[in-house]
Amino acid sequence: MLNILIQKELKSIIVSNKFIVTFVICSILLIMSVLIGINEYKQAVTQYETVHQMADERIQQVSSWHSVSYREHRKPSPLMIFTSGLSYDIGRWSDINSRSTVKLKNSIYSDDPIFAVFRIIDFTFIVQIIFSLLAILFTFDAVNGEKEQGTLRLIFSNAVPRTKYILAKCIGTWLGLLIPILIPILLSVLIVMLFQIQFSSQEWIRLAILIFISILYTSIFVVFGVFMSTMSRSSNVSFLLSLVFWITFVLILPRGGVMASGNIVSVPRIAEVEGLKVSYAKNKWEEYYKNMNDIFADSRNNNTEEDEDISDDMMWANMKAQDSLRKEVTRDIEGNEATLLEDWENKRKAQQHLGFMLSRISPAAVFQLAAMSLSYTDIDLKSSYESALRNYRIEFNKYIDKKSENAGPGAGSIMITMDSDKGMDLKVGRDNAIDVSDRPKFTHPKVQLGKILPDVLINISILLLMFTSLLGGAYYSFLKFDLR
């Protein structure tokens, strides 16, 4: 019995216009998005390699240990083909040196705002917006449409239990939609394989989970459409209701959640935090210069009467003292900066957390959060890179310190001595190219699947919960449906 009903459902869908249209739209969109994604990814990789090489070339030109600076670039993740996520929004590099702290700068969108005008179209976007819309179009008249056609009465003039009928409706329409969306999805995966994009085994698992979540997400809207079609007697009304709900849940609520949290939890802007940081640093340096002046004045006062020649030793000792004082100030400033940033980041995290919590009312938000974290293009991308870069910077600076200590003074610096007898003497340090080949290398952070899995599982269970409650809703409301 169930079989017959499901078969009828499938048959009526497969011969319909909307089946063909859906299939064509999905195929075109997905194949296009994956081709664009592959192109973008390949370009990003080429660019990454180019700039990485340039950074290496550049560091080899540096002649003084004091001015060594390295620029580390973010490596594109191959899953951005499917979910570009925040990869265009987050900065792509950070300078690594002793002077400035780690900060990811220059996002693609900020460099080329033209791409920001219409954004990028990717797999996740298509599933989130188009698939959900198509699912609703498939099912908004599932039950009341049959009533309008008049076939519903005929069906129930047979010994068909309502439960079986509604179950067959859900399964049938779901299967009917699965074909036109699953084939394009598999096609797009095939394209990725054909283009020989290197996926690690873990990335394949991530992709598989992403596809599973996409289907689960679409299923929610299938059941939702059936639910709506049992809520109203006229398919026009159920269509309208479905569309209004779709706009609200897919387009509005995710944004609303994050925006509301921005108003609930107030977090200062980074510019403000940096202002605080700069003020603190400026004050500290001001103090430092004052101290240095005093020391300088003292030593001059002491020296005038005794030996007029300032020996190299004295000079060296002086510089060392200066250097240690400078380092102390730097440490102090960095300590302050770290606290400021940590404080800021905690607030920011609280805000994000609340925002995502609120937006999770919407299945679209849940889906997107899961897809982005699976594709490693979510907020973690920024924080994990920044913390990895911070660790790297410490290592890097240690290395530079050691090297510069060994190299001694002079190299790459200007030394000016003034003497009332000899006049002014200027010594420019020779340009010995320095060897930085043994510098520590940066390892790109990889968020292990195990780490994000709990979060993904939570998102999946939210989606499952939505799915089952809508199914239950459809079932109960069909029990009360007026068959006349």
Touching other proteins, residues 158-177 (CB under 8 A)? none
Contact between 343 and other proteins per CB under 8 A: no
Q: 43 CB contacts (<8 Å, ≥6 apart)?
A: none
Distance separating alpha carbons of residues 246 and 423, to the nearest angstrom: 83
With respect to other proteins, which residue has the nearer C-beta, 378 or 475?
A: 378
81-95 burial by CB neighbour count: b if 16+ within 10 A, else e? bbbbbbbbbbbbbbb
Contact between 336 and other proteins per CB under 8 A: no
Contact between 370 and other proteins per CB under 8 A: no
Distance separating alpha carbons of residues 338 and 381, to the nearest angstrom: 20
Query: Binding segment for other proteins among 183-191, 315-323, 344-352, 396-404 (CB under 8 A)?
Result: 344-352
Query: Binding segment for other proteins among 207-215, 318-326, 376-384, 440-448 (CB under 8 A)?
Result: 376-384
Neighbour-count burial of 371, counting CB atoms closer than 10 A to its CB (0-12 exposed, 13-18 middle, 19+ buried): buried
With respect to other proteins, which residue has the nearer C-beta, 6 or 370?
A: 370
Secondary structure letter of residue 105 according to DSSP: B
- Give the largest Cα separation in the chain, rounded: 120
Query: Binding segment for other proteins among 5-13, 24-32, 203-211, 452-460 (CB under 8 A)?
Result: 24-32
Distance separating alpha carbons of residues 40 and 197, to the nearest angstrom: 12
Residues 55-114 that bind other proteins (CB under 8 A): 55, 57-58, 61-63, 73, 86, 89-93, 103-107, 109-114
Distance separating alpha carbons of residues 299 and 415, to the nearest angstrom: 18
What x/- string results for residues 175 through 204 when contact with other proteins is judged by CB under 8 A? ------------------------------
Contact between 393 and other proteins per CB under 8 A: no
Residue from 177, 228, 372, 466 binding other proteins (CB under 8 A): 372
Q: How far is the CB of 297 from other proteins (least distance, A)?
A: 5
Residue from 3, 15, 117, 306 binding other proteins (CB under 8 A): 117
Q: Are 235 and 146 in contact (CB under 8 A)?
A: no
With respect to other proteins, which residue has the nearer C-beta, 31 or 160?
A: 31
- Total residues interacting with other proteins, rule: CB under 8 A: 111
Query: Binding segment for other proteins among 5-13, 33-41, 212-220, 436-444 (CB under 8 A)?
Result: 33-41
Q: What are the structure tokens assigned to 61, written together? A: 């030109």
In three-state form (DSSP H/G/I as H, E/B as E, the rest C), the secondary structure along 352-371 is HHHHHHHHCCCHHHHHHHHH
Residues 450-479 that bind other proteins (CB under 8 A): none
Residue from 54, 155, 314, 357 binding other proteins (CB under 8 A): 54
Distance separating alpha carbons of residues 70 and 474, to the nearest angstrom: 60
